[in-house]
Amino acid sequence: MDINDLEWRVTPGLTDYSAALKEMEARAAAVAAGEARELVWLLEHPPVYTAGTSASADELLDARFPVVDAGRGGRYTYHGPGQRIGYLVLNLAERGRDVRCFVHALEGWIIAALAEMDIPAFRAEGRIGIWTQDAQGREAKIGAIGVRVRRWVTMHGFSVNLSPNLSHFTGIVPCGIADYPVTSAAALGASHDIETFDAALALTSRAFLESLTCSRKIET
pLDDT tens readout for residues 113-155: 999 999 999 999 888 889 999 989 999 999 999 999 999 999 9
pLDDT in tens, 10-67: 999 999 999 999 999 999 999 999 999 999 999 999 999 999 888 898 999 999 999 9
Q: Which pLDDT value is given to residue 99?
A: 94
pLDDT, position 3: 61
Please report, for residues 22, 56, 76, 145, 194, the alpha-carbon distance to residue 69 in angstroms, rounded to integers and kept in the order given.
12, 12, 9, 16, 26
Per residue in 190-219, pLDDT (tens digit) is 999 999 999 999 999 999 999 987 544 444
Averaged confidence pLDDT in the chain: 92
Model pLDDT, residue 217: 40
pLDDT of residue 66: 95
Entry pTM = 0.93
- The pLDDT, as a whole number, for residue 119 is 97
Instruction: Produce one character per residue of 186-206: b if its CB has 16 or more CB atoms within 10 Å, e if not.
Output: bbbebebebeebbebbeebbe
The pLDDT, as a whole number, for residue 2 is 55
Active site residue 175: yes
174 within 8 A of 130, measured Cβ to Cβ: no
Compute the average pLDDT of residues 90-111: 95
> Which residue among the candidates 92, 147, 175, 209 is catalytic per the annotation?
175
